Structure 1
């Protein structure tokens, strides 16, 4: 009898010790529970009328706050509450169980305990739960990556993606819903002429609900995607955001549409230079841009390191809708060589004097774009193979969650973007600009100078160059 009692007491002590240890390891759960207990004890001393009055008052404040100032309510109340619940209740209590069921653990040879990954931090968004996971010694990010499907199914997520953070830590992104499922309408145009806008044009949204900002000043953009993947949405959303700058003469669009104008013809009134029929003229446009870039470099050198567009030195955006027709698919090798040389000059020297290249391709191999790696900012839409994703976004992009080969054809405009300096790609969707909206913005934001052919004499007056070089 004494032995049985001792065993029961021993198990009880172990259970209590385990519970105390578990609560101490979960301060985010323990502290709110203690506060709730203290408040409950104090409230229990009140009369029922007082308790009911306080409850009605609190509910009234919450309802009025949420209706009148939903943004601040979500920021200060709703999002922190949901994040606390998911971090400490949903994931905190069941985490070790999930890791065990998914086979993620390693046995400590000294103590015999099974060491499992643990959650260090969580970031909640309406669509994605991002968990920073500490890996025990002996497990790697590849082990978690191999269990992506198991993790997604266990945690009732649409998809799970693994991103490296630093040695021993990874981000586990659990997609709870697809916020990019619905088509995004055209973004309202910001009429401001603040040059800082050129560092982040809003052309869509990311999967965490934040605006997708595309940089055009001091950068070049490479867009890759299969037919119907939404390359046109990116181009037109960018031009739409630039509308006020185009009308003011602070930005010039030099456009090349080798498909005979099937994509860019609707907005031809926005363009300062435009070619769509003759390959010789298209290549000449690229060469003229490179020549003007060199001339501007000579005039602006030694002034300043930050380019700010003026009407005398506007930012020149060279848009090429299908680059392959001027490179790999160009039967005239002489024209192909000229196009590649001009493009190479623009990409290597154009950022400083305000020359920006936005090029779209379907085939992402080196034979199509020899200068692919010179584009600082890259966008990958729907692609055919995982290897193509890595060609566009860099090594291990597919392994880190940029699943461009899994984007359905029914969702054009969705892709992954990797900006210069970013460690990982971000999933985004570009807004869709309708044909009527393109015609309207071409009418409302047409540049002041008249569209002229490549070989026509320029009517520009000799004005001093006052731009600033980056």
Structure 2
């Protein structure tokens, strides 16, 4: 994009040439109105004004009905395209507004010999989320991503955004990730515990809320039996397994769910020892970094898994429903990095291998696993790819969202490394969408010490505390 400012011919580029250039760069903006106009003319010629108006009204009514009747599909299919088109062609990324922003932030470049002003080009805008814009940018000739990095504060102010991050692409291009607003302004209270086991669906356990205001749920059965939660110290990782346990409370109480816990820090989950399987399925790291007790608990968990496998095989079936005979088993491994990477203990290698075995074989026997880690690197969690469900809370490096959520996750808006410090941001992160690769911004419910003690009392005393309305 360029503008003649001085020198050379006094005549600028003809408007018809500029229009032709614009049409070549944006064929969709020419094709779509042309198709709509042609279609409307066809309707007018065949059915007259009344018929054409009726068809147009029916289409508009159909879209409105879709919006009201099936919000999930509308929000995932139509809404992102409508938002992106509106923000690209009527928002701050349209031609004149974008050039004014570049002028105001010193991102326009002067070509002194030719006497023209060069502007970085907006290639496309994506808006999978109502709170985040993904702006694909081709910098001006001789301009690099560093020019934008030095102007982030000015760009953030100019776009009236919460924050902006940059993700480099090939051939010098990059994505400007613009977080327009923060969807989470209040702490979400701990989920209420269902009164009866029949009210619990282990495939849809409440964890918190997503950026659309919908319930955020995770599964501990079937193909989604294994959940990886990554986040820096103080990011709120343990809010997720604690929310899952509160959702499973009546099943734990009734013997339909067995809880196993490995707690290296000897602090976060110590209060939950009474609700573990037989009251003893709790292991920690002994003084001096000895992880033998954790290794023993994993051996017991695998042995239980193998016994269940043999019983299912003897029955001649491939799967069985959850029951007292075949309960759901939930293994929680807190801060796995301290077990397999940040230690010189000889048990580290064995722990890594056993966790990988559980993640590869436990699905059909109802043996699930929730693992939290401060470091999601492949050298720490060698079996990372075996987790179908992953959550990335606040992390410290821009490479880590891709490690957790998959390739290009940050390019698609998962800027977990940009989540600020502070209590008001604990539990905020990104989860992979159920039907799409696009990450959702989520916030986990906060489970306090009181809520943990309430869970223990509910399970151990067969209490009937708070029922779900």
2:367 corresponds to 1:348:
no
Counterpart of 1:249 (choices 249, 255, 260) is 255
Counterparts of residues 84-163 of structure 1 (less than 5 Å): 90=91, 117=122, 125=130, 128=131, 149=152, 152-160=156-164
Q: Secondary structure at the match of 2:348?
A: helix
Counterpart of 1:188 (choices 175, 180, 192) is 192
2:277 corresponds to 1:263:
no
Task: Give the 3 Å change call, closer, same or farther, for CA 296–382 of structure 1 in structure 2.
Answer: same
Between the aligned partners of 2:415 and 2:437, the Cα distance in structure 1 is: 16
Between the aligned partners of 2:196 and 2:166, the Cα distance in structure 1 is: 39
2:288 corresponds to 1:288:
no
Deviation of 1:241 after TM superposition, in Å, equals 1.5
User: How many equivalent pairs are there?
Assistant: 384
Between the aligned partners of 1:423 and 1:306, the Cα distance in structure 2 is: 29
Task: Give the 3 Å change call, closer, same or farther, for CA 387–90 of structure 1 in structure 2.
Answer: closer
Between the aligned partners of 2:120 and 2:377, the Cα distance in structure 1 is: 44
The residue aligned with 2:427 is 413
Give the TM-score normalised by structure 2: 0.64
The residue aligned with 2:57 is none
Between the aligned partners of 1:190 and 1:151, the Cα distance in structure 2 is: 47
Task: Give the 3 Å change call, closer, same or farther, for CA 439–421 of structure 1 in structure 2.
Answer: same
Between the aligned partners of 1:415 and 1:211, the Cα distance in structure 2 is: 15
Deviation of 1:375 after TM superposition, in Å, equals 1.6
Give the conservation status (yes or no) of the 8 Å contact 2:200–2:247: no
Counterparts of residues 356-375 of structure 1 (less than 5 Å): 356-375=368-387
Between the aligned partners of 2:127 and 2:378, the Cα distance in structure 1 is: 40
Deviation of 1:370 after TM superposition, in Å, equals 2.3
Deviation of 1:133 after TM superposition, in Å, equals 8.0
Q: Secondary structure at the match of 2:207?
A: strand
Q: Secondary structure at the match of 2:390?
A: strand
The residue aligned with 1:454 is none
Q: Provide the alpha-carbon RMSD of the alignment.
A: 5.1
Q: Describe the superposition over 1:165-205 as per-residue Cα deviations: whole angstroms up to 9, x where unpaired.
A: xxxxx998643321224222112234464588222211112
Between the aligned partners of 1:130 and 1:207, the Cα distance in structure 2 is: 14
Between the aligned partners of 1:318 and 1:435, the Cα distance in structure 2 is: 21
Structure 1 unaligned regions, length at least 5: 1-13, 32-71, 76-80, 106-113, 165-169, 449-470
2:179 corresponds to 1:214:
no
Q: Secondary structure at the match of 1:202?
A: strand
The residue aligned with 2:10 is none
Deviation of 1:373 after TM superposition, in Å, equals 2.1
Between the aligned partners of 1:352 and 1:104, the Cα distance in structure 2 is: 59
Higher gyration radius (CA): 1
Give the TM-score normalised by structure 1: 0.64
Between the aligned partners of 1:174 and 1:400, the Cα distance in structure 2 is: 11
Between the aligned partners of 1:188 and 1:82, the Cα distance in structure 2 is: 35
Task: Give the 3 Å change call, closer, same or farther, for CA 253–146 of structure 1 in structure 2.
Answer: same
2:341 corresponds to 1:328:
yes
Between the aligned partners of 1:400 and 1:148, the Cα distance in structure 2 is: 22
Q: Describe the superposition over 1:347-406 as per-residue Cα deviations: whole angstroms up to 9, x where unpaired.
A: 111112211111112233334322222222222222222233333233333344322332
Give the conservation status (yes or no) of the 8 Å contact 1:131–1:171: yes
Task: Give the 3 Å change call, closer, same or farther, for CA 90–328 of structure 1 in structure 2.
Answer: closer
Give the conservation status (yes or no) of the 8 Å contact 1:246–1:446: no
Task: Give the 3 Å change call, closer, same or farther, for CA 131–399 of structure 1 in structure 2.
Answer: closer
Task: Give the 3 Å change call, closer, same or farther, for CA 120–336 of structure 1 in structure 2.
Answer: closer
Counterpart of 1:393 (choices 393, 405, 425) is 405
Give the conservation status (yes or no) of the 8 Å contact 2:129–2:440: no
Counterparts of residues 423-462 of structure 1 (less than 5 Å): 423-446=437-460
Give the conservation status (yes or no) of the 8 Å contact 1:389–1:397: yes
The residue aligned with 1:312 is 325
Deviation of 1:86 after TM superposition, in Å, equals 6.8
Between the aligned partners of 2:155 and 2:88, the Cα distance in structure 1 is: 16
Q: Secondary structure at the match of 1:445?
A: helix
Give the conservation status (yes or no) of the 8 Å contact 1:200–1:214: yes
Q: Secondary structure at the match of 1:177?
A: coil
Give the conservation status (yes or no) of the 8 Å contact 2:283–2:297: no
Deviation of 1:115 after TM superposition, in Å, equals 11
Give the conservation status (yes or no) of the 8 Å contact 1:162–1:400: no
Deviates most, 175-184 or 247-256: 175-184
Between the aligned partners of 2:122 and 2:401, the Cα distance in structure 1 is: 29
